[in-house]
Amino acid sequence: MSFPLALPCNDLLNNNSDAVIVIAADVHDLQHECLNQAVAPYLAIDARIASKATLVLADELPGKRLIISPTGPLNRDYDDVRRVFDAAKSAINEAKAAGSKAPTLLVVGVPQDERYQNALQVAYLGACQALWQPLEAREYRGESIEPVTQISLFGADDTVCKQLNALAAGQYAARDLCGTEPERMAPPKFADYCVELFNNTCVSVEVISDINTIEKQYPMLGTVARASYAVERHHPRVIKLEYTPSGEVNRTLMFVGKGLVYDTGGADLKVGGFMAGMSRDKGGAASVAGFMKAVADYQPKGVKVIAYLAVVRNSIGSDCFVPDEIITCREGLKVRIGNTDAEGRLAMGDLLSEMKDLAKSEVNPELFTVATLTGHAARAVGPYSAYVENGPARAARVSRQLADMGDLWADGAELSRSRREDYDFVKPRTFADDVLSSNNAPSAVTARGHQFPMAFLAIVGGLDKHGCDSELPLPYVHMDIAGSGVEGGDWQHGKPTAATVSSLFARYCI
């Protein structure tokens, strides 16, 4: 793993860097005399400096390189720290193209309000996002395609850099797991990556590979995996991760991640080019594993984290599951299949049921499912994550606090309510079944297409019995990252974003 290490820096002129990158709200005032003097001759002749990342010669600076990257407006109601994030992405690409391997990064001139309190940290994370290259590309061309080895953060201290290095490591792993092609990251290799990722860390790893065990303990996941049994290298895995802090536990975070290494749609085959990019349908499990990596490196006090990853391929073939089948889930309910392309909720449902049972004996548990689940989420909220919460989570403001934190860390989310219509949507239509997995239309054209799957998950996970009116309310949030999981909504070519990792880390670990 070769993400650029964040290093503290308090001297612009005398350090080990080979370039200075300035993320600036106003390129005419870089707030350091040496920087203003270096850029002044160029500002006099090149108006483009105010609108795009630009490299200029600066004899007094390390490496004689100065990259200025303007943020654009920051004071409007709808501006946020993502402008800093984007400016840093542009700047680091200029620095890399110029041959820099160890730049210093600083942010100047941002407004003094809470929206930009983490501007420097976000700039670093933006640079890391831009620098990451796919795992299979690194294996093919060598690690030299990621030449930047460190980024010195002007004004940051050791504590901030320790936090950022843990977070960056987690995001890097999440991008690897999400962004790698379906054979290189088939379920057994996904599991191998996780085993290696957490080797010699404080996170324990258990991998369930036996098909009979999966069929017995997680029958809905086994149903999704059924057509993949013909190909051994496509066999499913259930990966269990656990971190227990030293000292007292004050809160327990419990995750189930959707790890569809490839989603053909199954019998409801994706056609018309819509199958391309479905190797990234493992983005939910990838983000959960990435968060666990950040936790492993940072080792926060007071918070215990448990994660189950459902890693499976939704293949087609003579033994694939089909609409109208009725499956008995772990909770003992009869589940009628409405559409085989709504497989992620099936893969996660029984793991969520097991997690719910475990939660009953944990300290202050909060449960989450994380998934690239529905096209509707992307259609409804665009490039944001969509959080759908149950009553106890809403009462505790779990999603609100996460979304507010995400606004400060360039990891935006929108909140959705779980409503009675969602439960009505999945209610049984006959006495032969207890719950319907989905309708037979694409989620993007289905009313409340990203909300009703949470109702299904709550039912098959048994969490519908742990609402505000129960003896043991359990907060549960479904995090749909179908719109936020890759850059630009380009599931075939866009870089994975590691959505939710920074929000979760900032909210619960620092």
Of 124, 155, 186, which residue sits at a domain end? 155
**164 falls within a domain:** no
Q: Tell me whether residue 161 is in a domain.
A: no
- Each residue's pLDDT tens digit, 248-307: 999 999 999 999 999 999 999 999 999 999 999 999 999 999 999 999 999 999 999 999
Beta-carbon neighbour count of residue 288 at 10 Å? 31
**What is the reported pLDDT for 14?**
85
Residue 443 vs residues 137, 227, 261, 276, 279: alpha-carbon distances, Å: 33, 23, 20, 18, 19
Q: Is 345 a catalytic residue?
A: yes
Average pLDDT, the chain: 97
pLDDT in the model for residue 279:
97
Residue 163: inside a domain, yes or no?
A: no
Same domain for 238 and 116: no
> Averaged over 94-106, what is the pLDDT?
98
Rounded percentage of the chain residues whose pLDDT exceeds 90: 98
Task: Say how many domains are in the chain.
Answer: 2
Q: Are residues 151 and 64 in the same domain?
A: yes
Residue type, 28: H
Report the CATH number at residue 143.
3.40.220.10
Would you tell me the crossing angle of helices 158-179 and 283-298 to the nearest 10 degrees? 150
pLDDT for 159 equals 98
- The answer on 330 and 192 residing in a single domain is yes
161: left (phi over 0), alpha (psi -120 to 50) or beta: alpha
Phi and psi torsions of 333, nearest 5°: -85, 150
- Which residues, including other chains, have CB under 8 Å from residue 210's CB and lie 6 or more apart? none
Q: What is the pTM for the complete model shown?
A: 0.97
Catalytic residue among 64, 189, 270, 397: 270
In a domain, 15, yes or no: yes
Q: Is 403 exposed, middle or buried (0-12, 13-18, 19+ CB in 10 A)?
A: buried
Average pLDDT of 236-242? 98
Cβ atoms 478, 389 nearer than 8 A: yes
Span 43-60, average pLDDT: 96
- Which of 126, 155, 184 marks a domain boundary? 155
Is the same domain home to 207 and 133?
no
Q: Are 188 and 20 in contact (CB under 8 A)?
A: no
Q: Are 17 and 98 in contact (CB under 8 A)?
A: no
- Domain of residue 325, residue span: 173-508
123/216 same-domain check? no
335 is a domain residue = yes
User: Is the domain of 444 the same as that of 480?
Assistant: yes
* Residue 121 within a domain: yes
Choosing from 122, 155, 188, the residue where a domain stops is 155
426 and 343 part of one domain: yes
Q: Looking at residue 210, which CATH number applies to its domain?
A: 3.40.630.10
Confidence band of 1 (pLDDT split at 50, 70, 90)? low
Mean pLDDT of 171-175: 98
Q: Which residues contact 266 (CB under 8 A, 6 or more apart)?
A: 224, 227, 314, 315, 316, 320, 321, 322, 340, 341, 343
Residues 311, 420: one domain?
yes
Tokens of 321: 């599951």
Residue 196 and residue 334 in one domain: yes
CA distance 103 to 19: 5
SS3 158: helix
- Does a structural domain hold residue 91? yes
Q: Per the residue annotation, which of 345, 356, 448, 495 is the catalytic one?
A: 345
Is there a domain that residue 432 lies in?
A: yes
Whether residue 263 is found in the same domain as residue 331? yes
- The residues, any chain, with a CB within 8 Å of residue 238's CB and separated by 6 or more, are 207, 208, 214, 218, 221, 308, 309, 310, 311, 351
| Annotation says 226 is catalytic | no
pLDDT at 410 over 70: yes
CA distance 86 to 452: 33
pLDDT category at 380 given cuts 50, 70, 90 is very high
Check whether residue 240 and residue 352 sit in a common domain. Answer: yes
Both 195 and 72 in a single domain?
no
